[in-house]
Amino acid sequence: MCLLPFGGLRADGFPFDLRTHEVRGANLRLPLTEAQQIEVASAGRITFTNEQLAWLHPIYPKIPPKLRVIASTHNDGLDDRAPNPVDCIWTTPTEVGITLRKKLDKGDYSYDSGEYAADAADIRISPTGLLYHHGQEISITKAYEIVRTAKKPDGAPSAESPIVRITQPPPFRSSDEDEVANNKKAADLFTALVKYGESLKIAVHPIW
């Protein structure tokens, strides 16, 4: 575990830098176990270990045992957020950062466990190039099928294209040959799915 100091905070979007994948502002960096790495990559959430909760409870006594994880590969303006949100940001394939709120914040903190809403991502790409759909590993053939059979949301204008949302992983940061190859594999998978969608007039977009 390591504590990173306060820095500048964004007024919009989640608090991380898209270029560096680093959390903006003070955060507690947690290394992921192998099981957590799979959970984060496949389902976009983390189940904390007892050791991690022991670090977190003195700071956030009401933090739940699970949190939604936000991939640091896509950001957008957020129109409506609960007060004093505590975010869990996927910063590297093997780490997440828990945002630390300044003491001047008033009232209770808010947490998103990710357990009470459908997964916003239709497909998730892992750091090693595996593909997941709602927590289950899938083949590239199945991923193409998900794109091909995408439907418009109810009430969408007739001219609007169906949309498929894909979560991309943060890259490995070393020059290790295998990790560089994994970064390329993950990026190539996303590009291939985008191009396949374009051929069918289906929009393939990144999402957290």
Among 152, 190, 146, 141, residue whose Cα is nearest residue 168:
190
Residues 6+ apart with CB under 8 A from 1: 28, 29, 30, 31, 52, 55
Q: Write down the pLDDT at residue 4.
A: 52
Among 201, 192, 76, 23, residue whose Cα is nearest residue 123:
192
Q: Are 133 and 42 in contact (CB under 8 A)?
A: no
Which SS3 state, helix, strand or coil, does residue 29 take?
Answer: strand
Residues 6+ apart with CB under 8 A from 18: 72, 73, 74, 75
Cα–Cα distance, 45 to 90 (Å, whole number) = 10
Q: Write down the pLDDT at residue 113.
A: 87
Task: Count CA within 13 A, CB hemisphere, residue 99.
Answer: 29
Cα–Cα distance, 158 to 160 (Å, whole number) = 6
The pTM of the full predicted model, rounded to 2 decimals, is 0.90
Bridge partners of 194? Answer: none
Q: Write down the pLDDT at residue 7.
A: 44
Q: Write down the pLDDT at residue 101.
A: 80
Largest CA distance in the chain: 52
Instruction: Please give the chain's pLDDT, 208 residues, in tens.
Output: 655 554 444 446 799 999 999 999 999 999 999 999 999 999 999 999 999 999 999 999 999 999 999 999 998 766 567 778 999 999 999 999 999 987 645 568 899 988 767 788 999 999 999 999 999 999 999 999 999 999 887 776 777 889 999 999 999 999 999 999 999 999 999 999 999 999 999 999 999 8
Q: Are 74 and 168 in contact (CB under 8 A)?
A: yes
Q: Write down the pLDDT at residue 111.
A: 92
Task: Count CA within 13 A, CB hemisphere, residue 180.
Answer: 4
Q: Are 32 and 95 in contact (CB under 8 A)?
A: yes
